[in-house]
Amino acid sequence: MVPSTLMSANLLGELAAVLPPEGVVTDADVLESHRRDQASWAEAGMPRVLVRPGSTQEVQAVLRVASAHRVPVVARGAGSGLTGGANAVEGGIVLSLSRMNRILELDRRGLFAVVQPGVINAAVKAAAAEHGLWYSPDPASWEFSSIGGNLATNAGGLCCVKYGVTGDSVLGLEAVLADGSVVRTGGRTHKNVAGYDLTRLFVGSEGTLGIITEATLRLRPRPPPATTLVASFPTLVAAGAAVTEIMTGTRPSLLELMDRATVRAVEAHRPMGLDVDAAALLLARSDAGGDQGVAECARMAAACESAGATFIAQSGDEAEGELLMGARRLAYPALERQGSTLLDDVGVPLSRIVDLLAAVERIAEQRGVLIGTFGHAGDGNMHPTLVFDRNDPDAVARAQAAFDDILRVVDEMGGTITGEHGVGMLKRPYLARQLGPESTRIHMAIKATLDPLGILNPGKLL
């Protein structure tokens, strides 16, 4: 048997042989800073080494070395994940894609961009805007999250209700498999049904099937300035009725909801004159532009009024619209100021949104935990956020129990344990219940085929 110290030395030596000097890092402080993502409550091991490849070929070389030594590899983007999906494995390799940060091509006529995984979402948006185009996926972390991380979790955002999640804007991928081989999926066309949809397979796989090294992204014409609406409701039922009416009668580009606990947290954090007695606050947008946008917003306002809204305001001015949206953007930061947070990410059918909100309120009362719920009402993806004292064992236990309660209720409603943040470590214990035995078996078979040694991000997702 090879001593672990010798194996470690051989591993580092082989990595140093295939990467430039700046591509292999063993400094303890740097390793510590790359151990975990934003899910501070999820476990994280101490990696043996951090590697920073600068090309697909270097990623291939790293994975060949890792396979030879059977050492786990965890791919890492900007570290903005919320489920522990990028947390290090003890003694393993953390593979940072930060050096692979170039936009390789932007085709204005073809409406696509080819980018490396380390490119920040905001950089793609900015590059597209220079050509009068728009990259639509907009997770809350768009200003600092990487495209690779967005792809790994199939990230969503506020515009999902009209434009879909990250996967809906991916035309093709290049990925390196565990043995170092390269696979290319999809292409540059907007329609492509040749063979199995391997692009969709890799998007959302959280680095467990391969490491994405290049993506061809769909761009769109930049939409005109949006018309924004905000409405307050005396009951959750009234807010739910408005959501149903809006979604069956218009196609908003954004439809967000905040419950009473969240509204109160925002108002306490930054007074904006919000109605802290309202059961819910609804924010909506139309980016149809011109008279059509105004008409769509008017129909949404009428839906809110007929549902019993106590306050309605709207504006076609872009600056004023951003002011109205300010409350929604402050939702999570405001709740964070009240204690340690456990941010959930669940989805239910549109017809069950009110039931979910009511269940969360009931769970919060039963468990004695503050829970503020906000999220994407237009597609049923909500974020119950538990606030508690991490230094109080009893508070932590009650928060965990409430978290479990929410996921159980979501399952009973025919929902999903994650709509856009991914499974990672946080939701892994709950995945099999949602998938069922046969689907779980298929997932495991796919994993075994593409990663037979099980070295790619072990302990995550499955």
Given a cut of 80, is residue 5 above it in pLDDT?
no
- CATH number of 103-221, picked from 3.30.1120.10, 3.40.50.720, 3.30.465.10, 3.90.1150.10: 3.30.465.10
Contacts of residue 188, defined as CB under 8 A and 6 or more positions apart, other chains included, come to 107, 110, 112, 171, 172, 216
Tokens of 308: 């019993």
Digit-coded pLDDT (tens) for 184-219: 999 999 999 999 999 999 999 999 999 999 999 999
Digit-coded pLDDT (tens) for 271-329: 999 999 999 999 999 999 989 998 999 999 999 999 999 999 999 888 888 888 889 98
Digit-coded pLDDT (tens) for 236-281: 999 999 999 999 999 999 999 999 999 999 999 999 999 999 999 9
| Burial state string for 336-374 with b = 16 or more CB within 10 A and e = fewer than 16 | eebbbbbbbbbbbebebbbbbbbbbbebbeebebbbbbb
Given a cut of 80, is residue 53 above it in pLDDT?
yes
Q: How many other C-beta atoms lie within 10 A of the C-beta of residue 257?
A: 26
Given a cut of 90, is residue 150 above it in pLDDT?
yes
* Residue labelled with tokens 């696979």: 183
Digit-coded pLDDT (tens) for 124-136: 999 999 999 999 9
For residue 318, what pLDDT is reported?
85
Q: How many other C-beta atoms lie within 10 A of the C-beta of residue 217?
A: 26
At residue 368 the predicted structure's pLDDT band, cuts being 50, 70 and 90, is very high
For residue 2, what pLDDT is reported?
44
Q: Which ranges in 330-461 belong to alpha helices (H)?
A: 331-336, 353-367, 393-412, 428-435, 437-450
Name the amino acid, one letter, at 265: A
Q: For residue 209, what are the β-bridge partners?
A: none
Q: How many other C-beta atoms lie within 10 A of the C-beta of residue 40?
A: 12
CB 43 within 8 A of CB 87: yes
Of 87, 68, 69, nearest in space to 77 by CA: 87
What kind of fold does domain 224-335 have according to CATH? Alpha-Beta Plaits (3.30.70)
For residue 7, what pLDDT is reported?
54
Instruction: Report yes or no on whether pTM surpasses 0.85.
Output: yes
**CA–CA dist 396, 418 (Å, integer):** 22
Where does 339-451 sit in CATH, by number? 3.30.70.2740
**CA–CA dist 364, 418 (Å, integer):** 20
Of 444, 393, 399, 391, nearest in space to 426 by CA: 399
Tokens of 435: 């998938």
| DSSP conformation letters of 370-396 | EEEEEEEGGGTEEEEEEEE-TT-HHHH
What kind of fold does domain 4-96 have according to CATH? 3.30.43
